[in-house]
Amino acid sequence: MTLPALGDLAVGQEVARRTLTVDRARLVRYAGASGDFNPIHWNERFATEVGLPGVIAHGMWTMGAASSVVSDWLGDPGATLDYQTRFARTVPVPDPGQAEVEVVAVVGALDPESTTGRIDLTVTCDGTRVLAKCQALVRLS
């Protein structure tokens, strides 16, 4: 695998863009894999009773799915050295149907000395940012 070359990148350059989709079936599978069976992720009645608009995606699903955009661009998930975000809004998942999460990855900073870059991700659902200060530190060639 050849990582993206630091010399081929510029601050502000978009390096990846993807629309991710999530439906109720994916939430159930994620709950099983993660062990997070909180009913806000699968039970409409419960979710609305606690003040949510309905069932919402797991925050960790959203965070992980967004990071996959960077890993795929790098071609090596091990080249992500650090990844951080804050949860800003929920991702409501309709039934029937699916929610769409838009991820845009842009070079935020480059460090020639360490051959690393900071990739800033804008992660939105229905035009609203759902992850804030979403950044990955990545190794480059």
Nearest Cα to Cα of residue 128 among 86, 97, 89 = 89
In three-state secondary structure terms, 113 is coil
- Split at pLDDT 50, 70, 90, the class of 124 is very high
The count of domains in the chain is: 1
In tens, the pLDDT along 6-55 reads 999 999 999 999 999 999 999 999 999 999 999 999 999 999 999 999 99
Domain of residue 131, CATH code: 3.10.129.10
pLDDT of residue 113: 98
Residue 42 tokens read as 């699968």
In the numeric block, the tokens 């979403």 are attached to: 134
Q: 131 lies in which domain range?
A: 6-139
| In the predicted structure, residue 1 carries a pLDDT above the cut 80 | no
Angle made by CA atoms 61, 76, 111, in degrees to the nearest 5? 100
With contact defined as beta carbons under 8 Å apart, do 23 and 55 qualify? no
Q: Coil, helix or strand for 54? A: coil
Residue 106 — pLDDT band, cuts 50, 70, 90?
very high
Q: Flag whether 1 is in a domain.
A: no
**22 occurs within a structural domain:** yes
- Residue 45: inside a domain: yes
Residues 6+ apart with CB under 8 A from 133: 84, 85, 86
Q: In what helix (H) or strand (E) does residue 22 lie, and over which residues does it extend?
A: strand 14-23
pLDDT at residue 108 greater than cutoff 80: yes
Residue 60 has a pLDDT of 97
